[in-house]
Amino acid sequence: MEAEMYENLRLQYKIWFTDEAGDGLLGDGKWKILKAIDQEGSLTAACEKLGITYRRTWNDLKSIEKRLGFALLEKNRGGIDGGSTSLTVEGLRLIKAFDNFHERMDTIMHEQFKLLIKDLTSHGKS
């Protein structure tokens, strides 16, 4: 019976990094935006794909760049086919590192979640 009480539990978590003052700097949301820009080749298309506003996203990314001290985006204006946005070498390095970090943390979190469920359903046995 007790195991059934916990069968509906699902693990959800977010990762984010702050600056020394504790202000959010980069997390899952901005990571997804940067990945979408890389995939779509455009900030506009990335915002449409994720259902977020362009202006706020642009301002947030510019703020992150300023606080990190390096550019994440390269914006190419207009032309016949319109403009494009791509990630800088540093931006690509950042999302790749975040991908790797997330993959390692996902493994740890899922292993620990299984142990949590085991602890909850073991009736105090170790």
Asked whether the beta carbons of 30 and 60 are under 8 A apart, the reply is yes
Is residue 77 domain-resident? yes
- Residue-wise pLDDT for 88-122, tens only, equals 999 999 999 999 999 999 999 999 999 999 999 88
CATH number, domain containing residue 63: 1.10.10.10
> Could you list the residue range(s) of the whole structural domain that residue 101 is in?
16-121
Is residue 94 domain-resident? yes
Total of domains in the chain: 1
CA neighbours within 13 Å on the CB side: how many for 68? 17
Is residue 109 domain-resident? yes
126 has a pLDDT exceeding 80: no
- Residue-wise pLDDT for 78-97, tens only, equals 666 667 889 999 999 999 99
Structure tokens at 41: 């080749």
User: Radius of gyration of the chain from Cα atoms?
Assistant: 20
- Strand 24-27 and strand 73-76: pairing? unpaired
Is residue 7 domain-resident? no
Give the residue-averaged pLDDT of 39-63: 94
Is residue 9 domain-resident? no
**37, exposed or middle or buried, with CB in 10 Å at 0-12, 13-18, 19+?**
buried
Regarding pTM above 0.85, the answer is: no
pLDDT band at 7 (very low <50, low <70, confident <90, very high): confident
